[in-house]
Each structure stands twice: as C-alpha cells, then as structure tokens.
Structure 1
C-alpha cells in the first residue's frame, strides 16, 4: 500500500500532534470517492465539522495544486493552500494535501492534512487521512481525551463513504414512469 508524502517540517513524530485514520471498504472505487473529496464545497454535505468553504482562486470547483481556500473546522477558521492534488488513475492512488493555518502568536496552528485514496484487490478502496499539527493549540489537542481530531476525521471518512454509496444508489436506481390514477 502507498503512504503519505510529508513536506519538510511536518514529518509525524516531530510535530506537536499527529492523527491517522483509515478505512477500507468493498463496493466503491477511488474514482467514486475522488469528486466528493476534491470538490471542497461538497465537504459540508457529508461532514458536519466543515463549514463555509470558499475557494479564493476563482470559480474552479475542484481543488488543484496551488489552490487557496478557506473553511471552518474544529472551531478554527482555516486558511489553506492545496500543495498536492493528483487524481487516481489505474494503478496509482489519488492524493490531496493542503497546508492550513489559523491564529497568530500563541494561538497559531499550522497543519499538513493529507489524503490517499487507492483501489485495492477484490473491489475494495482504501481511504487514508493523516494530519500533522504544529503550535500551542496542536499540543493542547494532542492531550485531549478523547482526541477530537481522531474522532472528527473518522466522522469525515464515514461521511465520505456514506455519500459515495448514496451517489451510487442514485445512479443505479431505475427510472420508473409515473403511474396515472
């Protein structure tokens, strides 16, 4: 299986906080997951802990390498810039990652949030999300039990899978003509 690519200064184990969540499910593909994750404006439709998503770089609906955007999560207003965005193709995983930041001075929080979406054998897909965090708020989050980042990211994964399954159900539903009474 593939792994996250970490930028300098964000390697897990050398930051104040690190969380990792993963799910492997049958019956979905990376291509079905990708549009739900790469279109940031869709996040609030399946992940309640994201809100007010705005892309700064024009009307493009999909994240791309270099895209600046804003969203709110875990009580933080986050400015972010996508620094990795590669759609999945046969034999290669999809990758999305961004650097996000909020606050100043002692309230400054810097994160690298990365996603890896890859097809596995027997009709399964693996979705991995990992985040490293730096700053005093990150150190405080790391000490909180239960860890809100682990629980929140699991909610994100579960919502992503649920939304992909619902999208598949809508596509597969037969169209029936209306009955006349």
Structure 2
C-alpha cells in the first residue's frame, strides 16, 4: 500500500481553491539518492527552472520550522517548513512547507501547502509524490488556466529532480 501526504485540516484537497498532484516511480534510485537534492533548496534552480532567488536565512538545508524565501510561478513566496522527516528505518521521507505571497486579507493573497513524500518501493524503485493545495484568488485563477501551469511546473520539478539524482549515482 502506498503512503499518502499528511494534510493540515484547512488545506485538505477538495476544500481549497486549487490542488495539483504529481508523481513519478523510477527504477534504480532510492530515497537516499533523491532527498539531498530536495532539502538543499539552493540547488533547486540547477534542476528546476521555475525556482529562483532562494534565501534560507543563513541555513544550508531546509529543516523543520525554517522560514525561507524563493520565487516561483512569478510569485515571491515566503515559506515555513512545517513537516520534516528525513529518510529513516524504511519509512517514507517527508517534507512540507506553508508558503504565502501577498499581505493578509488582501485580494491577491495566496496561501499554499506544498508537500513531498519519497518512498522506496520493492524491485529497486522509488516513488516521488508532490502535491500542493492553494487558497486565494490567484489560486482560483490558476485552477482554471489551461494548460495548468502548476501541474506542468511541478512535473518539471519532478523530472529535474530525477535527472539530477541519476546524474550523481
């Protein structure tokens, strides 16, 4: 049985303005191969063209409760890591952050919960799942945009993550 994302109640898919889910299952990689490229956000722009201006406030890697900044999809995003479970004891690795753009109570405010789950599967495979829920008027607009920029952008992120991990093994 495959594992699932842990959702905060107010970001539960189906009850937000926008939701996207992307997943890949790849052979000859493991959670240990993938994890370093995800938690070192300084590397994101090297394999994901939609991330820039990463600022981890002096930290080297993402970690629980870290507040950080990056730009993506044209939005300047402040974020805080709200879940952090590195690979351990055959359990899935997990990381999630709450991100926001805009001032509270403004019509252009965007709030997101972006979560990742990485788990080893039988037969030398790894599953990488990333899902995001969004709240706010920009999310409502994104939900109706075709092609869906979030779905396509997150697929690029997954593809880049797999490519850089494969290049390093």
For normalisation by structure 2, the TM-score amounts to 0.97
- Tell me the residue number matched to 1:46: 47
Alignment of 1:144-163 (within 5 A): 144-163=145-164
Is the counterpart of residue 89 in structure 1 residue 88 in structure 2? yes
- Tell me the residue number matched to 1:78: 77
- Tell me the residue number matched to 1:101: 100
Alignment of 1:28-67 (within 5 A): 28-56=29-57, 58=58, 60-67=59-66
CA distance in 2 between partners of 1:119 and 1:62 (Å)? 22
Q: Is there any run of 5+ residues in structure 2 with no aligned partner, and where?
A: none
CA distance in 2 between partners of 1:85 and 1:32 (Å)? 17
- Tell me the residue number matched to 1:22: 23
By how many angstroms is 1:8 displaced? Answer: 2.0
CA distance in 1 between partners of 2:60 and 2:126 (Å)? 24
Is the counterpart of residue 8 in structure 1 residue 9 in structure 2? yes
Alignment of 1:128-147 (within 5 A): 128-147=129-148
By how many angstroms is 1:112 displaced? Answer: 0.1
CA distance in 1 between partners of 2:92 and 2:98 (Å)? 20
Return structure 1 stretches of 4+ with deviation > 4 angstroms: none
By how many angstroms is 1:97 displaced? Answer: 0.1
- Tell me the residue number matched to 1:178: none
Tell me the matched-pair count: 166
2:11 counterpart SS class = coil
State the Cα RMSD in Å: 0.7
Structure whose CA Rg is larger: 1
